[in-house]
Structure 1
Amino acid sequence: MTSALFFESLRTQWESGLPFVAYRKPNETQVNALFQKSDTLIYTQDFTESGFVFSPYNQEEETILIPLEGSDRCSMSEPEVTESDFYINGLDNNQNPASKERHMDLVAKGVNEIEQSNLQKVVLSRSEAIELTDPDPLRIFKKLLHRYSRAFVYLWYHPKIGLWLGATPETLIRVENKRLSVMALAGTQVYQGTVDVEWKTKERQEQQYVTDFIVSNLKTSAENIRVSEVETTRSGNLLHLKSTISGTLKSTARDMRQLLRTLHPTPAVCGVPKNEAMAFIKANEDYDREFYTGFLGELNFEKKRHPRSSVRNIEHRAYKTQTHYTQLYVNLRCMQLKENQAILYVGGGITSLSDPASEWDETVSKSNVIKSVL
């Protein structure tokens, strides 16, 4: 499908008030879309369904599904970009002293709680509103696609929920047949032309908390668990520390729903210990995260594979094998569009070594990922 027809189809679906999602995976050029044929709000029952899931941060709330059955699918290569697509359409009206002071007070409270209890890390976040003179989600989506090739970029809409966009750097989990991998991503600094940088103890400690949590919680479901070396990875104007935990699902492993409840939310978006961190966030953040720090992506999709070409199996090339895979991402670097506003969500990991002013600066740097397309 051509770029023009693809975006025309998105606009028709949106203006018709029908659910859809359009997305591109990291380091790929193909953009995919699912168009639900009705405006019914559909939830997963047990994560055995096939479709695109959109799940909130709160584990007690239901996960929304745009099902493969009952939806049309289409795709295109990278969209064409014109000069008008880069029209500056946002006005930042929330960088004020009160907002800064409120977040710094929250961080200080988190550090104090860590020093006074068994809480080791807690992720604290905030939201801010940007006034839009051109609140066209398709234009914003196109700019996200153009700017963030390494991220999972998406545009999601349901008339009964709202409209969300994002460019997240973090994979939650990928499962294909019995093989699985999980990303441990934490620690942040501004990219200044090189990934060869020094990391402070605070950031390395923060990333290790995430890795240890994932490894510990995978042991009941997976075997042959391996942890890659920690590396520096770039996401837009930011750098993070990343490692990949991989393994094989045990034959006795429970279902995907249980696996996700075990892993999510990870210390990268919540904290350690998990229950204490969730309780602190609920009691002290002054807003509802909704789908920020939830997860989204392809659930039980099907992939067709051709046999490898060789003289021996040349007569079998027409045969294909089918595998099923799930690939989910943490909903970071995201925004919600409401009328003429973009509501941005940003946060950071707090440990005993956190400095409130530095943590504020980190959220500002993260918000620039989205602001750069507004």
Structure 2
Amino acid sequence: MDFSLLTEKISKQLKENLPFVVYSLPLEEKVFALLQKDQTRFTITEMTQNGFVLAPFEYDGNALFIPENVSEKIESEILNSDNEAAKTLIAKNAAEEKEYSEKVAKTIEKIKRRKAYKIVLSRFKEFPLKDFSVELLLNRLFSIYPTAFRYIWYHPQTGLWCGATPETLVQVEKDSFKTMALAGTQPLTDKVPVVWGPKELDEQQLVTDAITNSLQRVTSVLKVSNPHTHRAGSLLHLRTDITGILKNGKATLTTIAAALHPTPAVCGTPQKFAKEFIHENEGYDREFYTGFLGPIRENGATASLMVNLRCMKIENNTARIFVGGGITIGSQPSDEWQETQNKMQTMLQVLQPML
């Protein structure tokens, strides 16, 4: 289907308050859509059905689902457009910076007292939109970030969510799977080679170790790569690839997703303490930010589940952009604030003509 025809269909679906999801895998030139035919709220526990899953940060084994068998399924080529992604200036807000920096300082104190090795602290910022257009959103989101997993999800009970995430939770292909440890952030510059400091290297190792430990509960066959630099829009991250074998029916898409989520990249380590600290100190509900999402095919034999980062919720002509960062013993509050400001640019660049 022609991309402009797809945008018309998505616009009509949204006007009629009917659920839909439209997405594209990293480096794919195709975009896929599921347009649900009624407003039913479907959920899924075992990921063995074809469709698209959306799970919150507080995943308890139950996730939202748009089933393929009750939806119109569409495939389209991405429209090649010359959308610009210039940096958007964010008005300084001393009160917001002070509040977040104080939370970071408190987090560092907990880590110094050996309560945790890493805690992921997040925040959100709301931006009023002059004139929201889902057609413009589709056009910009899918053309600006070709290396990310891009999606727009809508259900009348959740509102509209969209994002361009760099992080895979798990990819399954028949009897094998792959995941990644993604940590450490710096802005993209012309500097070559890219240099990573001890703070980022330590954080990356913490995340890698925690993920491999989680996976060893469901499979013992793992292969871990060396860390390498990964570009995500205007940011760079450290990435380690982890691959493994599904065996004996114990390691399924559902059990691996449950073992991995929430990863240390979105929660912290040890997980239990980090999650409790987040509940007590962040001061808001993350909802689907830092949850996971993605298409399930071949009844769970093939799937691409992604961590829901670099995302926003759009409601009542307002975009709520979610950002966060991993706090470790080497963190500096001012640097952590700036990191969240940098991460906000991913969605701001998509919204630019609507701000």
Question: When the two structures are superposed, what TM-score results if normalisation uses the length of structure 1?
Answer: 0.89
**Contact in 1 for aligned 2:7/2:138 (Cα 8 Å):** no
Which residue matches 1:364? 341
Match of 1:220 in 2: 217
* Corresponding residue for residue 328 of structure 1: 305
Distance 2:252 2:150 in 1: 27
Query: Which residue of 2 is the match for residue 200 of structure 1?
Result: 197
Task: Say if 2:318 is the partner of 1:341.
Answer: yes
Deviations 1:51-71 (A, max 9, x none): 100110002373100001111
Q: Aligned pairs, how many?
A: 350
SS in 2 for 1:160: coil
Unaligned segments of structure 2, at least 5 residues: none
Match of 1:257 in 2: 254
Supply the distance in 1 between the matched residues of 2:85 and 2:125 (Cα, whole angstroms): 21
Residues 289-341 of structure 1, C-alpha deviations (whole Å, 9 max, x = no match) = 00000000012x039xxxxxxxxxxxxxxxxxxx9301100000000001111
- In 1, distance between residues paired with 2:41 and 2:131? 28
**AA matched with 2:48:** T
Give the structure-2-normalised TM-score.
Answer: 0.94
Question: What stretches of structure 1 of length at least 5 have no aligned partner?
Answer: 304-322
After the TM superposition, which residues 275-354 of structure 1 pair with which residues of structure 2 at under 5 Å, given as runs?
275-299=272-296, 301-302=297-298, 324-354=301-331
Residues of 2 paired with 1:363 and 1:31: CA distance? 29
Equivalents in 2 of 1:286, 1:100: separation in Å? 15
Alpha-carbon displacement from aligned partner over 1:71-110 (angstroms, at most 9, x marks no partner): 110111112537xx7799x9956x4100101110010010
**1:183 Cα deviation from its structure 2 partner:** 0.9
1-side partners of 2:124 and 2:156: how far apart?
A: 22
Whether 1:120 aligns to 2:97 is: no
Deviation at 1:241, TM superposition (A): 0.2
8 Å contact kept, 1:144–1:373: yes
Q: 2:45–2:61: 8 Å Cα contact kept in structure 1?
A: no
8 Å contact from structure 1 (residues 141, 165) kept in 2: no
Q: CA RMSD in A?
A: 1.9
User: Hey, what's the Cα distance between the residues in 2 that align with 1:203 and 1:359?
Assistant: 12
- Distance, in Å, in 2 between the alignment partners of 1:61 and 1:250 is 21
Greater Rg by CA: 1
> How far apart, CA to CA, are the structure 1 residues paired with 2:304 and 2:75?
18
Map of 1:8 onto structure 2 = 8
Q: Classify the secondary structure of the residue corresponding to 1:69.
A: helix
Moved over 4 A (4+): 85-88, 90-93
